[in-house]
Amino acid sequence: MAPPQPADFERALDTAAPHLTPAEHQAVQAELALLREHGLRDGLLPAMRRIADEVPGRLYRGSAEVLLRMHEIAGSGNHQSCLSSLPIVRACFDLDLVPRADGPARADLVVGRGHIAPSFYAEWYVRGHLPFLPLATLHQGAMTGVVNKEWGFANTMRYSLGVGMAQAVSRAWELKRRGERRKVVCLAGDGEMHEGVTFECVRFSDEAGLDNLVVVIDANDKGIEPLLKPLNRDYLRSYFRTVVEVDGGDTEVVRAALDELLELPGPAALVCGTRKEGHSFRRPGGATAAKPTFASTGGRQLARLAERSGRPTAVFTADLAARFGLPGQVEYQNVGLAETLGVGLTLALDPEHLKVVATDAMYYMDSLSMLTEASTSVRNLMVLAGRNWGAWGGAANAFNLLGLVANTRVYEPVTPGEFEACADRLEREPETVHVLSMVDARFDEPPVDCRDDIDGGVWITPPDEADEGAAVVTFGYATTLVAQANADLGLPHLHCAALNPMLPGGTARRLARFRNVLSVEYNGAHGGFGEWLRNRYLLPVTVHGVEGDIDNCVHDIQLRRHGMGPEQLRELLTSFHTSPEARYAIART
C-alpha cells in the first residue's frame, strides 16, 4: 500500500466535512493549509508532527473524547474495542513503550490487536504529536484504522488475527538470539487467543524459553460476538511463567502491573479485565440503510434453502453471525475466532445433512488444507466467504485460491435467484464444495441474472448480430459496477456468476467474434476470472482486476484504489469502445 498523499487527505476531508464541529473545521482548515504548504516530503510522521507543533491548541483534553469524535466523523470502525483498550494504551505511553522517533523505547511494542490503532492516534493527539487533520480522515483513504508502520507502529498488520502474536514471538526470538535484554510487549485480545496460531506462539514461547516476552491481553469476554467461555486462565498459567490479572479499566493499575512484569523474567501474561459494548460503530441516529448488504441476507437465504431442501442444516461461523445475518434466521454454532475449526467441524456430520461454514474469505486462507480434507470427504458442503475489503483490507486472491482447492467451485451471486441456483447446483453435485462469495456491499441487482445457467453467462447488454467491435465480460459484483458505468455506453456486456465459467458453445463463439474483449472482476487478476477465460478459451481477453494489495479503507475508496469506481470503469469502457483496431493482449503483464 502506498503511503497517503496530500490529495488523499483533501479527499477524505471532503467526506468528513459534514460531520465536523465548527471548531474542528477551523482547526483542520488551518492544519490543511500547513500540509499544502509543507507537503509530505519529509515523511508522513515528521510532517504531521510539524503541523501539530505549529497548531498547538488541542480541541479535546481526553483521548476517550477524541476517540469518540474520530468514530463519529468516520461513521464506522471498532470504537468499543478501541475504548476497552484505551487504559492499556495509556499505560504503554506512560511506560515509554510506544515507538518514538528520538531513540529506542523501553521495550519493543507489537500491537496484535491491530484495530485499536485509533486509541494510539487519540493519545498521540492529546499529547501533541499529531494534528486533528489525519484523525478526521480515519478509514477514508488517508489514516488507516489498523496498525501500520507508516503511522508510527513497530508492526503492520494486514490479514490475519493472531499475526501480532507471531510478530511478537519472532521479535522476541531474534532479540534473544542476539543476546539483547530488551523485552517485547504484545497487545492481544482474548478473542484472538482462541486462534490456533496464537497457541502455537504461546507454546513455542515457553518451549524456546523466550523470557523476554510479555503479552498484555484485553479480556473483554468478547471476540466480535461474546465468547462461549471466558479465556481460560489455567491455560495461560500452563504456559506463562507469570500471569497477573488486573482491572483493565484503570490506567494506574495497568501501568503498575506492566511496569513490574517488565522487570520479571517471562514469558508473562497480563490479563486486563475490560468491558466492551457492541463491536462495530454505528453513528447514533444515523439513517438505517434502506438496503441490506448482500452478505447480510445470507441467514434469510439459508433459512429458505433449509426449508426447500428439507435437509437438516448445520451452520458454523467464526464470530461472523452478524455479517451474514444469521441471528433469528437459522440455528448456528459460533466457534469463536478459529476458522480452521469451523471448517473441521463439518468433517464427520451426516453425509446427507447440509453443512454451511461462514466466515470472511481471507480467513479461509489459513485453512485450505482442512478445506481440502473437507472437499475430498464431505458431501453437501456450502462455504460462505464474506467479501468485505473494508477497513481491514482483505485478500484479493482469496477466491482464486479457494477455486484451486480440489473439488470446489466458486460463485459470486448478486441476486437471491443466483444464490438459490448455487444451492440447487450443490443439490445436484453434492460432492463438490460450493464456495459462495458473499459481498458485503449494497448494490442494485442486475436486471437479468445467471439463475438459469449458473455456470454460464447472461447478456446484460446483448450485442447486435453484426457487432464485432468490443465487448465486456464481468464476474459477480463487478457486473453491477460495470452495468452502472456502461448505462449510456451500451457496450455488449456479458455477466457471469461463476469464477470459472463453462460458457455454452454459442456464447464462447460469439465472444470470439469480437475484436476486443475486456474482462472485469473486483477480484485478484492473477489466477482469476479473466485469466480463466484466456486459459480455457484461448481468447485474447484484456484482464481488468485487482493487481495489488488490498488497502485499509472504506468500500467506496477501496473501489477507486483498484480502478473499480464507476467513473473509472466508464473511462476504461470508453477507451475500449472507441479503439479503432484490435488489441490482442497476448501477454497481459
Give which of 254, 248, 225 is closest to 97, Cα–Cα.
254
Which contiguous run of DSSP H or E holds residue 153? none
Q: Which is nearer to its own copies, 24 or 225 (CB)?
A: 225
From the list 404, 386, 402, the residue with the least C-alpha distance to 394 is 386
| Residue 356 binds its own copies, judged by CB under 8 A | no
Closer CB to its own copies, 234 or 465, in the complex:
234
Positions in 393-432 near its own copies (CB under 8 A): 395-397, 400-401, 403-406
Using CB under 8 A, which of the segments 36-44, 51-59, 67-75, 342-350 binds its own copies?
Answer: 342-350
DSSP string, 211-271: TTEEEEEEE-SBSSSBPSS---HHHHHHH-SEEEEEETT-HHHHHHHHHHHTTS-S-EEEE
Amino acid making up residue 465: E
* Binding piece for its own copies, criterion CB under 8 A, among 123-131, 244-252, 367-375, 574-582: 367-375
Q: Determine the Cα–Cα distance for residues 171 and 205; give it in Å rounded to an integer.
A: 11
CB atoms within 10 A of CB 249: 16
CA-to-CA distance for 489 and 479, rounded, in angstroms?
15
Among the listed residues 179, 199, 188, the one whose alpha carbon sits nearest the alpha carbon of residue 81: 188
Interacting residue with its own copies among 14, 247, 350, 452 (CB under 8 A): 350
Q: Which of 69, 171, 300, 451 binds its own copies (CB under 8 A)?
A: 171
- Nearest-approach distance from CB 551 to its own copies, in angstroms: 12
Least Å distance, CB 182 to its own copies, is: 13
Q: How far apart are CA 195 and CA 156, in angstroms?
A: 19
Contact by Cβ (8 Å): 495, 474: yes
Q: Which stretch binds its own copies (CB under 8 A): 61-69, 227-235, 429-437, 557-565?
A: 227-235
Residue 377 makes contact with its own copies by CB under 8 A: yes
Q: Which is nearer to its own copies, 143 or 169 (CB)?
A: 169
How many Å apart are CA 423 and CA 420, to the nearest integer? 5
Position 536 contacts its own copies (CB under 8 A): yes
Q: Does 489 bind its own copies (CB under 8 A)?
A: no
Nearest distance in Å: CB 112, its own copies: 11
CB of 538 to its own copies, least distance (A): 5
Asked if residue 538 binds its own copies (CB under 8 A), the reply is: yes
CB of 221 to its own copies, least distance (A): 12
Q: Which of 36, 101, 352, 376 binds its own copies (CB under 8 A)?
A: 376
Kindly tell me which residue out of 362, 421, 460, 573 binds its own copies, with binding defined by CB under 8 A. Answer: 362
Size of the site for its own copies (CB under 8 A): 92
User: Cβ(342)–Cβ(371) under 8 Å?
Assistant: no
Nearest approach in angstroms of CB 90 to its own copies is 25
- Which of 432-440, 459-467, 514-522, 531-539 is the region at the interface with its own copies (rule: CB under 8 A)? 531-539
- The angle subtended at Cα 477 by Cα 476 and Cα 479, nearest 5°, is 75
**Cβ neighbours of residue 489 under 8 Å, at least 6 residues apart?**
570, 573, 574, 577
Angle value at C-alpha 575, between 572 and 581, nearest 5 degrees? 135
The only residue of 2, 21, 33, 232 in contact with its own copies, by rule CB under 8 A: 232
Whole-Å CA distances, 575 to 58, 527, 543, 569: 49, 25, 14, 10
Alpha helices in 95-162 (DSSP H): 117-126, 132-135
Q: Which is nearer to its own copies, 49 or 562 (CB)?
A: 562
Q: Is-contact 89 123, C-beta < 8 A?
A: yes
Write the binding mask 135 to 154 for its own copies: x where contact by CB under 8 A, - elsewhere. Answer: --------------------
> Judged by CB under 8 A, does residue 534 bind its own copies?
yes
Contacts of its own copies in 235-254 (CB under 8 A):
235, 237-239
Position 180 contacts its own copies (CB under 8 A): no
Does 365 bind its own copies (CB under 8 A)? Our answer is: yes
354-360 vs 333-334, strand pairing mode: unpaired
Question: 236 vs 436, which CB is nearer to its own copies?
Answer: 236
> Which residues from 188-207 bind its own copies, rule CB under 8 A?
194-201, 203-204, 206-207
Considering the complex, state which of residue 280 and residue 377 has its C-beta at the smaller distance from its own copies.
377
Q: Is 561 in the site for its own copies (CB under 8 A)?
A: no
- 273-310 burial string, b = 16+ CB within 10 Å, else e? bbebeebebeeeeeeeeeeebbbbbbbbbbbbbbeeee
**Contacting its own copies within 73-132 (CB under 8 A):** 110
